[in-house]
Amino acid sequence: PLARQGRSTLAASSAVRWVGQSLPVLTLFFSHRYIPMAGLKAGAPAPQSITVHEKSRVLEVVFSDGAAFRIPFELMRVYSPSAEVQGHGPGQEVLQTGKRDVTLVDLAPVGNYAVQPTFSDGHDSGIFSWDYLYELGQRGDALWQDYVQRLQAAGVDRDAPMAPKGA
């Protein structure tokens, strides 16, 4: 994992920068050489930099095709690709609530194809591939509207605490 001391476990070509208050901005720079891994689309854009903005609670990702996205931590958390959130099949999704103020406490690289964030609520099982981060950035507004509609349909407030597991 990327420790708050400004140390990186990513490849030597990466650079990590912590600035700001006690929990500052983390920036990861990736080399231009990108080797696709299993599960990724061939020729898909790869990140050139990833910046964690603690204060505004967004992940800024700049891709090799020039696209740049600012993905809110809350959006990442409610659309985590983990089985805990997505379930193990269609219809098993778990509507996430109480995530408005979630932050990132860690961001670990996963091979050459993804990052695995640890959120302030303890959730750490989602692996965000480059393709998935690109999709979250590109479709963020539509995904957010879908989330709001699902909250309304369930009659649940966005800030309501999550029901205990098994309840």
pLDDT at 32: 38
Measured in whole angstroms, the distance separating CA 14 from the mean position of its chain's CA atoms is 19
Q: How far apart are CA 2 and CA 71, in angstroms?
A: 19
pLDDT at 33: 39
Question: How buried is residue 167: exposed, middle or buried, by Cβ count under 10 Å (0-12/13-18/19+)?
Answer: exposed
pLDDT at 76: 97
From 15, 144, 119, 99, select the one nearest 59 (Cα to Cα). 119
H runs (alpha helix) in the chain = 73-78, 83-86, 130-138, 140-154
What are residue 26's DSSP bridge partners? Answer: 52
Cβ contact 25:32 at 8 Å: no
pTM: 0.78
Q: What is the pLDDT along the chain (167 residues), one digit of tens a residue?
A: 343 433 333 332 343 333 333 344 444 544 433 334 434 677 788 898 899 999 999 999 999 999 999 999 999 999 999 988 988 888 888 999 999 999 999 999 988 889 999 999 999 999 999 999 999 999 999 999 999 999 999 999 999 998 776 55
Helix (H) or strand (E) holding 69: strand 68-72
43: left (phi over 0), alpha (psi -120 to 50) or beta: left
pLDDT at 40: 64
State the pairing for strand pair 114-119/128-129.
antiparallel
DSSP 164: P
* Two structure tokens written together for 167: 């309840």
